[in-house]
Amino acid sequence: MDTKELLKKVRKIEIKTRRLSDHIFGGEYHSTFKGRGMTFSEVRQYQYGDDVRNIDWNVTARYNEPYIKVFEEERELTMMLMVDVSGSEFFGTEAQFKNEVVTEIAATLAFSATQNNDKIGLILFSDDVELYIPPKKGRSHVLRIIRELIEFQPKSKQTNVAEALKFLSNVMKKKAIVFVLSDFITDDYKQTLKIASGRHDVTGIRVYDKREEDIPNIGMVQMQDEESGELMLVNTQSKTVRRNYSKYYKERVDYYKDSFTKSGAGTIDCRVDESYVKKLLGYFKRRG
């Protein structure tokens, strides 16, 4: 992809997702994800209805009239976007591939965080961490994240969510808002997710295509595993083949939901032909 085409794509995504974050998600994001606590701001004269527990007795004694301490929320937070860039993300039977929807969701979340003056970082992972961008503030930083999401070429097509979560725990010592965007067609990450969720506010966003749920009956078909590259002839007329595939897929989805729920983390399921706007907004409202 040449520079002109890349910039055009970045601009298109910015216009679409920034409008969403400005008009829909900004306030919801702020009310859903709270700051680290309350910090002292100033003292002022007591007014009717103020909480008497906040009276500053030293200042009150000095001026011989009641003064109270005023606190404000320590708002600044850090958002970490963990994005699966393995081979299975480059699949789609509708208008968009999964990775394109993931990019839009990530950009929307990033602009929502920027609107609240929070830092945003990025981890791109396959079966290893392919790219780490430390958290920073600002529009130019978000645009860099979008550029990487659009044009990054991973070295591996495999997936290892556990490895990415281990990396997160090593680099992020303070609590962060973490969104893990993947199709989660993998397992063996329950324990590392539990550790990460103990320190951070974690949400898994499962982006999938409806054609992944079941294999249609269309005869003998050559298929390729997007992650291993293996080619195989599959007899889709076989009920056993279709049943085994559906069972495998359901087990991965159940593992994802069970792992996140038992770890105290949130989940969002988003099919590529559905509105991720409604899914995100519904999640924010439920949590807020």
Each residue's pLDDT tens digit, 147-163: 999 999 999 989 999 99
**What does the mean pLDDT of the chain come to?**
85
Each residue's pLDDT tens digit, 29-50: 666 666 555 555 678 888 888 8
Token duo for residue 179: 């969104």
Which residue do the tokens 């791109």 mark?
Answer: 124
Residue 10 CA, chain-centre distance (Å), reads 19
At residue 35, the pLDDT reads: 53
Angle among Cα 193, 29, 253 to the nearest 5 degrees reads 35
How many helices and strands in the chain, by DSSP H and E?
9, 10
The whole-number average pLDDT for the span 268-281 is 90
The whole-number average pLDDT for the span 240-267 is 92
Q: Band the pLDDT of 17: cuts 50, 70, 90.
A: confident
At residue 261, the pLDDT reads: 96
Query: Residues 209, 274: contact at Cβ < 8 Å?
Result: no
Query: Residues 123, 130: contact at Cβ < 8 Å?
Result: no
Which residue do the tokens 């030293």 mark?
Answer: 58
Which residue do the tokens 């994240």 mark?
Answer: 145
Helix ranges (H only) for the chain are 3-20, 26-32, 57-63, 98-115, 139-151, 161-171, 190-199, 239-262, 276-287
The number of beta carbons lying within 10 Å of the beta carbon of residue 173 is 8
Angle among Cα 160, 162, 168 to the nearest 5 degrees reads 115
Nearest to 163 by CA among 190, 125, 203: 125
Give percent of the chain with pLDDT exceeding 70. 84
Query: How does DSSP classify residue 55?
Result: B
d(CA 272, CA 264): 26
Domains and CATH numbers, the chain: 3-32+78-287 (3.40.50.410), 38-73 (no CATH)
What is the strand order of the sheet 119-125 is part of? 129-136, 119-125, 78-84, 177-182, 201-208, 266-271
pLDDT at 124 over 80: yes
Each residue's pLDDT tens digit, 63-74: 899 988 876 555
Each residue's pLDDT tens digit, 203-225: 999 999 888 877 777 777 776 66
Q: Band the pLDDT of 234: cuts 50, 70, 90.
A: confident
d(CA 278, CA 281): 5
